[in-house]
Structure 1
Amino acid sequence: MLASLRGMPWGIAVFLAYAFLILAGIGLSLGPVIDQATLAPVSLVGVVWMALLAYTIFTVTLVLQRKAAARGLAIGLSTLTLPAMPLAALAGSAVALLFFAVLAFLLFNGLRTRAVRAWLNQD
């Protein structure tokens, strides 16, 4: 498995770093969601967070297994960078706007390369 990861394309490496940052962010922000669960067993925020957590874990698992279906799911997860750009612009943070714009560019271009298609070759 480690030999397989050493030969991964740069687009996959950028995506995995992005996905693990999402997982860390979800983990750090689960406190208020769990606090809400004591008041109501089902909340909209809790359902959205759990769906994002499940989608991210499932996508990372498929990418690490080199499944062909992982490419579409990875591109779908990368679309989370798109709403972050207008939010950063509305907040007046040029640094955050630039960060998310560069991240989106790297993710979308990296995941569309032939090397990624060839690397994600398991059915």
Structure 2
Amino acid sequence: MPAGIRLFLGYAIAILVLIGLSLRFVIDQAISMPVSPLGVVVMALLAYTIFTTTLVLQRKEAARGLAIGLASLTIPGVPLAWFTFAAGPLGIVLAGLTALLAVALLRGLTGQRTREWLSEP
């Protein structure tokens, strides 16, 4: 298994953990409003992450494009981390780590070893 795939699977697990931790808030919101915009976004992200991870574990060719799409969600995280913690050096560090994760994910998923590994039709 290439390093880019391992990094992606770690990233997908982190997304699933964060969704699991935020579900309490989403469910509390669903009590007062059955269909909330936040709930729709969280459920769409949950479904997309599970579907993409399943295809990656099955080594399907279609997983590559979906995985790159999921990895591209780290790009808006860079300015978000920067401006959320702009008062101190924490914003710079978090923005740098997010940018590093984005570059590592995108380079790993577009590499030749990953393309060869995701070869099942």
Residue from 12, 18, 21 that aligns with 2:14: 21
Match of 1:47 in 2: 40
In structure 1, distance between residues paired with 2:70 and 2:116? 20
* d(CA) in 2 for partners of 1:79, 1:109: 11
Aligned twin of 1:122: 120
Normalising by the residue count of structure 1, what TM-score does the alignment of the two structures yield? Answer: 0.92
Instruction: Give CA-to-partner distance per residue, 1:21-44, whole Å, 9 cap, x none.
Output: 000000001111000111121111
The aligned counterpart of 1:113 is 111
Matched residue SS, 2:61: coil
For 1:41 and 1:26, how far apart are their aligned partners in 2?
18
The alignment-based identity, stated in percent, is 59
Gaps of 5+ in 1: 1-7
Deviation larger for 92-101 or 61-70: 92-101
Question: Alpha-carbon deviations, 1:52-101, whole Å to 9, x = none?
Answer: 00000000000000000000000000111111101111122111111101
Aligned pair count reads: 116
Query: Partners of 1:90 and 1:48 in 2: how far apart?
Result: 22
Counterparts of residues 1-123 of structure 1 (less than 5 Å): 8-91=1-84, 92=86, 93-123=91-121
